[in-house]
């Protein structure tokens, strides 16, 4: 088995912090005052409770009128805190990257919503169709959770812009796969996608067929950041190159609606993805473009 399949199968067993049985409207501050943890988010589409963590940009508390772009990221426990991350001590450092980009004037101030995965059911929720050997195929239900439940809840509780050009989604590995799939399913809602090290291999590369089937229905292509590390294995690299070609053939334009990055030294792990947060924020949410 090649490196990307080993890595993806390892990540299938990612452990989520168990959510207490409380209403999603409750919240508490995490270790940083601009990170807010909401525990036990309930859904009528999927059985598991999940935690939601929300980053707000510098100045958010002091400005009661401004509204901000919003980015939804999968695997929320891996984003901000090494104590909750799948690999202890190895988080994406999203707050630090966003703060640095905003402070330098390269990234527009934005709100970032981390959606915790649910451990053993991560694979099911992050895959668009079932595999003969691995199961899965609940991405449509997960998409309903995000679009019909979580996004309205966020809009009611945080000052987010709700137009598609101000709304993004992102993830890595299976999280990258489900990001692209749901971005294709809901192009009217998501105008910006961060697709890191996507699991193109899933179920005989079914995502390529979904691109062909859904692209003709998309009136305006979402802006896509697509990357792969050059240490992730040749098969993974070839798969991402194939994915990039398929996107280009279906109307995505390099430098405008598509950026493809082969990351020197990049591997299939949290540390490598952490290094890509600043670059994809600069591409998807550049300052002055909102």
Instruction: Tell me the percentage of the chain whose pLDDT exceeds 70.
Output: 89
Cα separation of the two ends of the chain:
43
Task: From residue 159, give the alpha-carbon distance in Å to each of 29, 61, 69, 156, 188.
Answer: 18, 10, 9, 8, 20
CA angle, corner 16, sides to 233 and 263, nearest 5? 25
pLDDT tens digit sequence for 51-99: 999 999 998 987 678 999 999 999 999 999 888 877 777 899 999 999 9
Domains of the chain as residue ranges with CATH: 3-284 (3.40.50.1820)
Summarize pLDDT for 121-137 with one digit per residue, the tens.
Answer: 999 999 999 998 899 99
Q: Who contacts 53 (Cβ-Cβ below 8 Å, separation ≥6)?
A: 30, 35, 36, 37, 38, 76, 77, 79, 80, 113, 114, 116
Question: What is the reported pLDDT for 84?
Answer: 85
């Amino acid at each position: 088995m090649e490196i990307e399949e080993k890595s993806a199968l390892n990540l299938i067993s990612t452990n989520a912090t168990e959510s207490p049985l409380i209403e999603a409207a409750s919240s508490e501050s995490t270790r940083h005052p601009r990170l807010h943890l909401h525990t036990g988010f309930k859904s009528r589409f999927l059985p598991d409770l999940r935690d939601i963590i929300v980053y707000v940009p510098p100045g958010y508390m002091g400005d009661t009128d401004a509204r901000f772009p919003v980015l939804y990221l999968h695997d929320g426990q891996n984003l901000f805190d090494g104590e909750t991350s799948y690999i202890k001590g190895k988080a994406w450092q999203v707050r630090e990257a966003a703060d640095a980009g905003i402070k330098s004037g390269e990234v527009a101030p934005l709100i970032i919503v981390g959606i915790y995965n649910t451990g053993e059911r991560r694979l099911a929720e992050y895959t668009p169709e079932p595999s003969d050997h691995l199961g899965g195929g609940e991405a449509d239900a997960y998409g309903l959770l995000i679009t019909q439940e979580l996004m309205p809840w966020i809009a009611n509780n945080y000052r987010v812009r709700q137009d598609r050009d101000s709304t993004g989604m992102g993830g890595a590995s299976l999280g990258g796969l489900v990001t692209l799939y749901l971005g294709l399913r809901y192009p009217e809602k998501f105008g910006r996608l961060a697709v890191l090290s996507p699991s193109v291999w899933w179920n005989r590369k079914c995502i390529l067929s979904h691109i062909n089937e859904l692209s003709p229905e998309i009136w305006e292509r979402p802006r896509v950041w697509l990357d792969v590390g050059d240490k992730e294995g040749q098969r993974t690299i070839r798969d991402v190159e194939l994915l990039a070609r398929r996107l280009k053939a279906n109307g995505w334009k390099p430098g405008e609606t598509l950026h493809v990055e082969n990351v020197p030294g990049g591997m299939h792990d949290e540390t490598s993805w952490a290094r890509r947060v600043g670059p994809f924020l600069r591409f998807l949410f550049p300052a002055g473009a909102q």
